[in-house]
């Protein structure tokens, strides 16, 4: 399956080692922990699930002892960062947004407890809960943007740095605030392991994932639309076009997809924007007819 990400940079392992070493030199008490999203690799998830049930295996399920414990076999897993693990896990995560690293003064079990407060989001208007896919490296930054300031501060209080393998196959670092385990205050864990978000936050969460969804949709259904350039570049193009539609109040899902499909066939961005202007003034159907 195509997840809309570029191949790893050839020296990604070297980048990881250098990044970890630089921060550890400044803060020698840091512990490095891997965060692996098990939903992308059934075989690996099954292996980690079995290991998480043993003693001192260095593998912990984020869903253990939570309301999501029934989904543990496809859970996010924390692993102690033994350097011998990295080459294999990087190979397994090639083209799959399932790999990130955490540096923190917290132990692996303290990290599990920290993230157990953020396993789900709940919309109080209807009381519904939804799993929060922060271990999917393509969702992580969008999720943080959608949290309010207090929620974001609390989420980031459990780590010093969170290193994501980004869409371009290199590292993106999210800075945290955990530099001393003794001064760390654990978040309150609700009965359903959820944080409350407003309907507006939920809408932003869904809207923020639209470009990634459409990139994967086109890669699966019309591959020619997303060839000829790295997928990270295609993602940037899609994001730009969707933002242009937002400014023109073109919000219907089907219209946005159809306009984007035609825009990606155009070599001239100005022509694509002109098509959006026509859609705003005369409707999507007429605009597509004029620019096809």
Q: Please write the tens of the pLDDT for every residue from 139-152.
A: 999 999 999 999 99
Residue 100's nearest CA partner among 190, 37, 42 is: 37
Residue 161's nearest CA partner among 144, 149, 177, 145 is: 177
Q: What beta strand segments (E) does 146-269 contain?
A: 161-165, 171-175, 194-196
Cα 238 to chain centroid, rounded: 17
Tens digits of residue pLDDT in 94-120: 999 999 999 999 999 999 999 999 999
Whether the per-residue pLDDT at 27 is higher than 90: the answer is: yes
Tens digits of residue pLDDT in 75-92: 999 999 987 889 999 999
Q: Is the pTM of this model over 0.85?
A: yes
Average pLDDT over residues 190-198: 95
């Amino acid at each position: 399956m195509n997840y809309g990400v570029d191949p790893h940079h050839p020296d990604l392992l070297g980048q990881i080692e250098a990044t970890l070493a630089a921060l550890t030199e400044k803060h020698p008490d840091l512990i490095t922990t891997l965060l692996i999203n098990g939903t992308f690799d059934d075989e690996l998830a099954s292996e980690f699930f079995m290991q998480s049930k043993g003693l001192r295996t260095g593998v912990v399920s984020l869903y253990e002892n939570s309301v999501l414990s029934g989904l543990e076999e496809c859970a996010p897993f924390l692993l102690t960062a033994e350097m011998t693990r990295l080459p294999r896990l990087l190979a397994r995560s090639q083209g799959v947004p399932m790999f990130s690293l955490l540096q923190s003064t917290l132990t692996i079990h303290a990290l599990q407890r920290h993230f157990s407060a953020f396993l789900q989001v709940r919309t109080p208007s209807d009381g519904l809960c939804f799993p929060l896919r922060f271990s999917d490296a393509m969702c992580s930054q969008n999720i943080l943007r959608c949290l309010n300031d207090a929620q974001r501060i609390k989420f980031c209080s459990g780590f010093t740095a969170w290193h994501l393998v980004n869409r371009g196959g290199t590292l993106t670092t999210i800075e945290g605030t955990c530099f001393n385990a003794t001064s760390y205050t654990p978040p309150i864990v609700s009965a359903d392991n959820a944080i409350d978000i407003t309907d507006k936050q939920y809408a932003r969460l869904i809207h923020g994932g639209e470009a990634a969804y459409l990139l994967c949709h086109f890669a699966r259904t019309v591959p020619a639309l997303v060839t000829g350039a790295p997928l990270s570049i295609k993602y940037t193009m899609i994001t730009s076009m969707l933002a242009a539609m937002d400014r023109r109040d073109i919000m219907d899902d089907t219209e946005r997809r159809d306009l984007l499909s035609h825009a990606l066939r155009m070599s001239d961005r100005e022509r694509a924007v002109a098509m959006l202007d026509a859609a705003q003034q005369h409707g999507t159907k007429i605009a597509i007819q004029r620019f096809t």
